[in-house]
Amino acid sequence: MSRIDIGEIQTFAHQLHTANEAGRKSIKDIKKAVENYTEDGSLKGKAIDASKNYYQMTYFPLCDAIIEAMNESEERLAQYIADFHAQVDGSADARIDADGLYELGKMIDRIEAKKEALAQRMNTGTEGQMQSYRSQLSIAYKQENILEKYLAFEQSHGGFFDNLTDLVQGIQQTIRELQSNIQFNSKTGTYDMSKLNFTTVTRMQNALGKALKNNETTFNFDEYQKTYRGQMWVLMKNGIVDVEVTNAYNAAVLNGELAHKSNEAQEEAELLQAVIQSVKKGRDPVTGQEISKAQGFSIISGFIFYYTSGGYKGKKLKIPKKLLNNIKNRRSKAPKLSTLSEKEQLKLANKYKKKAPIAIPDNAKIKAQTKKAGYEQITYKWNDGQFKYEVRWHTRTPEAPLEQGNTWVVQRTVPGNGGDKPQTFFKIGDDEWVEGYKWYDAINARKAGNATPEQIKILDKGHWKE
């Protein structure tokens, strides 16, 4: 949707919750009656036992599936609203029309032209008018920034309401089916479901599965080298750990779909040695990509911590004291920015910007903050006349790989021109940029656990190590 009224979506969320609450009460009444029937010891006999078993096998899963679908519909809508507030606009009554971005860009161009013309004939009498132009530009830039954020948000949440609509409709149809075709028997205290159309129930469960993205990829685990480490298996191919396959294999073991093999301390030692050898060769043991010495130190430091803290149970390895000292010296903890004064934040930001992968001008607008998700972030924004830049330094975000550490992200926006809308790009190389929608698609795919090798490559290259 190119237009959004977050107030309307919040109203819909409230209405959905109210409707679901009424449905939950009906479902719980059914489930309670079934529980009373199945737990009634006074009713005995083979026919009764068979009936109780049928009720437990049929009615309980049905009730649980409906309630799960209701919970999921509300949680997904709440997450959408939370994402909007975090990524676009925190206002409770935000209204956005992305189609107006082009007109807003033209208005900014007009104000900037007037401001530039006024600057050429500047005197004491025109200072008030100049201040007015500055104020207009400030408001316009803020609106433009919100619109650009919304366009990126819209791209990263594509198809959200299609899946949600299918799920909500499936719930409503199932509830109507229950109300129409289930009859309560006051004599037995049970419900008669003989007329229930389970096709409707199946349709709802399919919608729930789609909403949960339960379509899992099938892997041939026999193609991978398996090593047991601590409480989990690690799967490798050609000396590289495959995280997605590793997660799938351990899930299969946990669910009883595969036999759990014995732990071998020697195998654990071999894995640690393989990781160290990979880093020595300048290769990331997980992705296989080339890495710097600094990145290698970061990876090994994680294993050293695991080893020295007692988590490692394999064959003991000798780790040079010099290596331990180097790693210790290279570790740096970022301060909690929210505890610093504005002056201290500015001093730290000016210190950090010298390490950025792109030159940050002195007139860049700086904002340092501790994000709600628990990570630290410093943002630098400026306009060089051709592009609008936003450079972010941040500590590891909750969804990022454990070994990522502190990184930089460089974003630039090409202003709209004529009929063209603004375009956002992210820096992934010395002179290499990727479109904003590809970046956000990659982030969402990684969160969902189905990122492609190309998407992982984009995120790895676009998160510049500190």
Round to whole Å and give the CA distance between 35 and 261: 40
CA dihedral 352, 355, 356, 358 (to 10 degrees): 130
Round to whole Å and give the CA distance between 57 and 52: 9
pTM for the model stands at 0.35
- The torsion angles phi and psi of 258, rounded to 5 degrees, stand at -135, 155
Q: Looking at residues 207-227, what average pLDDT do you find?
A: 66
Band (214; pLDDT cuts 50, 70, 90): very low
pLDDT tops 60 at residue 307: no
Enumerate residues 6+ apart whose C-beta is below 8 A from 132. Answer: none
Q: In terms of Cα–Cα distance, which of 39, 74, 346 is closest to 211?
A: 74
Enumerate residues 6+ apart whose C-beta is below 8 A from 154. Answer: 1, 2, 98
Q: What is the pLDDT of residue 361?
A: 94
- What proportion of the chain, given as a percentage, has pLDDT over 90? 11
Q: Looking at residues 129-149, what average pLDDT do you find?
A: 65
> For the segment 312-337, what is each residue's pLDDT rounded down to a tens digit?
444 444 545 554 444 444 444 577 88
Token pair 């719930």: residue: 171
Domain boundaries, the chain: 1-215, 221-330, 337-465
Phi-psi region of 293 (alpha: psi -120 to 50; beta: other; left: phi over 0): alpha
Top mean pLDDT of 43-57, 139-153, 194-208, 350-364 is at 350-364
Helices and strands in the chain: count of H runs, count of E runs: 13, 14
Instruction: Output 359 or 211, whichever has higher pLDDT.
Output: 359
Q: What is the pLDDT of residue 324?
A: 47
Band (449; pLDDT cuts 50, 70, 90): confident
Enumerate residues 6+ apart whose C-beta is below 8 A from 41. Answer: none
Instruction: Output 461 or 128, whichever has higher pLDDT.
Output: 461
> For the segment 331-348, what is each residue's pLDDT rounded down to a tens digit?
445 778 888 888 888 999
Give Cα separations from 438 to 330, 401, 424, 442, 454 (angstroms): 33, 19, 10, 6, 10
Pair 349, 380: CB distance under 8 Å: yes
Instruction: Output 328 or 202, whichever has higher pLDDT.
Output: 202
pLDDT tops 70 at residue 310: no
Specify the DSSP element, H or E, that contains 411: strand 407-414
Average pLDDT of the chain to the nearest whole number: 72
Pair 336, 344: CB distance under 8 Å: no
Round to whole Å and give the CA distance between 77 and 432: 36
Q: What is the pLDDT of residue 97?
A: 60
Pair 58, 52: CB distance under 8 Å: no
CA dihedral 271, 274, 280, 282 (to 10 degrees): -100
CB atoms within 10 A of CB 300: 21
Query: Concatenated DSSP letters for 85-131?
Result: HHHT---TT-EEEGGGHHHHHHHHHHHHHHHHHHHHT--GGGHHHHH
Band (52; pLDDT cuts 50, 70, 90): low
